Amino acid sequence: MTTTRRTLLGGTAGVLALPGLLRAQESPGVTASEIRIGTTYALSGPASAYSLIPKCLTAMFKRLNEQGGINGRQVNFLVYDDAYSPPKTLEQTRRLVEQDKVAFLFNNLGTPTNSAIHRYVNQRKIPHLFLATGADKWADPKGYPWTIGWQPSYRTEAQIYAKHILEQKPNARIGLLHQNDDFGKDYVNGVKDVLGARFDAMVRTASHEATDATIDSQVVSLQAAGCDALVCGIIPRFASQAIRRVFDLGWKPLMFMSNVSVSGAVVIEPAGKEKAIGLITSDYRKDQSDPSWADDPGMKEWRDFMARYIPDGELGDNNYTYAYGVGLTLLQVLRQCGNNLSRENVLKQATSLKPLELPTLLPGVTVGTSPDNYHPIRHMQLQRWDGRGWVRFGKVIEGAQV
């Protein structure tokens, strides 16, 4: 990201011009009976797989409203389609803010898309809460105090993998297979953070485009380069391909998979449960297809919710468990706000969450924030696939300290 002097000056000027506008209405988007919350998601186009998240959130607000809402107010959740195109995100966000007059924005999808509105929402002082992206840049309380992420960053995850590799195989030759976009590049950055000057000597990278048919060529290249560790920052469809191809080649690297792509039902089973044995990831969520959570009260709560409100939803898809977690986080914020739903107070409560355990997160993983800590989830735990489910090992790692 490039922030020049002009950018900052422009930002300040915008902020100075606005207070008059804001004071006209005390708490935008809030009436005695309603609070209006907005988000932007890809509901059309290639990224529309994520549309399950707002679907789940909408159902959660429906449940809340049926139970009487929050402090007597019904939540009105507006979801607009940006087709994962940053210009459209700005347009839809401006519609939410200027036309629909939402109180705040919640869980907007994507890194490039949120980048396009980052400055706009901060100039206008609109809370931009718990974004659906694992980029690192959202935790910037000084520069952009109104924006906060939610999930642990991909970069931190990659740092954990790199550290683990150095512990296990100090002289490893690391293959880094990543998607050629902001998501995949964060894995490169994370590994670079840990290896520093040794990166060029130790790491071979191979990237692929989201539109590629297969990643065979990349896997073959990394194997031919003699790598004995493999870090993958790729999405589910390619993850299944990679797991299967690595196994079929008889290549046995120490293999790490982005926690975006570790669902037992969606990724591992298609590749073959036995082919993934030894695969390592570091997650913060419970995998709903893992039999060891069958009787877990938290997951039971989630399953009951799904059965009641999204009966046609595919239970294997972990977008639903993600959404349930982030939705509950927001409900906690709203509860803390009490009757004061001004933008200032919403932000204040969102950035002072006491460590909170959520039913869909691993034991020991909590959500917590403070005015100078904008990483709501910092914990992850390494886990290894044993052929049937994920087995956690080592202690819960606090990512920000890696």
Residue 69 phi/psi, 5-degree rounding, is: 75, -160
Stretch that binds another protein, among 25-33, 41-49, 285-293, 348-356 (CB under 8 A): 41-49
How far apart (Å, rounded) are the C-alpha atoms in residues 6 and 12?
A: 10
d(CA 385, CA 160): 17
> Measured between alpha carbons, how far is 38 from 53 in angstroms, rounded to an integer?
14
Asked if 373 interacts with another protein (CB under 8 A), we say no
Whether the Cβ atoms of residue 153 and residue 177 lie closer than 8 Å to each other: no
Report the residue from 91, 193, 228, 296 that binds another protein according to the rule CB under 8 A.
Answer: 91
CB closer to another protein out of 151 and 240: 240
Interaction of residue 228 with another protein, rule CB under 8 A: no
Task: Please give the size of the binding site for another protein, defined by CB under 8 A.
Answer: 78
From candidates 15, 18, 49, 391, binder to another protein by CB under 8 A = 49
Shortest distance, CB of residue 60 to another protein, whole angstroms? Answer: 16
The structure tokens listed for 260 are 């975006």
Does residue 290 bind another protein (CB under 8 A)? Answer: no
Over the window 247 to 276, marking each residue x when it contacts another protein by CB under 8 A and - when it does not, the resulting string is xxxxx--------------xx-xx------
**86 binds another protein, rule: CB under 8 A:** yes
Q: Is residue 81 close enough to count as binding another protein by CB under 8 A?
A: yes
Q: What are phi and psi of 390, to 5 degrees?
A: -90, 130
Q: How far apart are CA 89 and CA 69, in angstroms?
A: 28
What are the structure tokens assigned to 28, written together?
């935008």
Please provide the DSSP assignment of 115-137 as one string: HHHHHHHHHHT--EES-B---ST
Residues of span 150-169 touching another protein by CB under 8 A: none
Q: Binding mask 313-352 vs another protein (x if CB under 8 A, - otherwise)?
A: -x-xx-----------------------------------
Binding of residue 231 to another protein (CB under 8 A): no
Q: Of 181 and 228, which has the nearer Cβ to another protein? A: 181
Contact between 234 and another protein per CB under 8 A: no
Question: Can residue 7 be called a binding residue for another protein (CB under 8 A)?
Answer: yes
Q: Is residue 287 involved in binding another protein (CB under 8 A)?
A: no
216 binds another protein per the rule CB under 8 A: yes
Return the DSSP state at 265: I
Whether the CB-CB separation of 127 and 350 falls below 8 Å is answered with yes
Say what angle helices 319-337 and 343-350 make with each other, to 10 degrees.
120
Tell whether residue 90 is a contact of another protein (CB under 8 A): yes
**Segment contacting another protein (CB under 8 A): 79-87, 158-166, 191-199, 353-361?**
79-87
- How many other C-beta atoms are found inside a 10 Å radius of the C-beta of residue 85? 18
How far, in Å, CA of 146 to CA of 144, rounded?
6
**Residue 52 near another protein by CB under 8 A:** yes
CB of 267 to another protein, least distance (A): 7
Q: Is 232 helix (H, G, I), strand (E, B) or coil?
A: strand
Q: Is 279 in the site for another protein (CB under 8 A)?
A: no
Helix axes 52-66, 319-337, angle to 10 degrees: 40
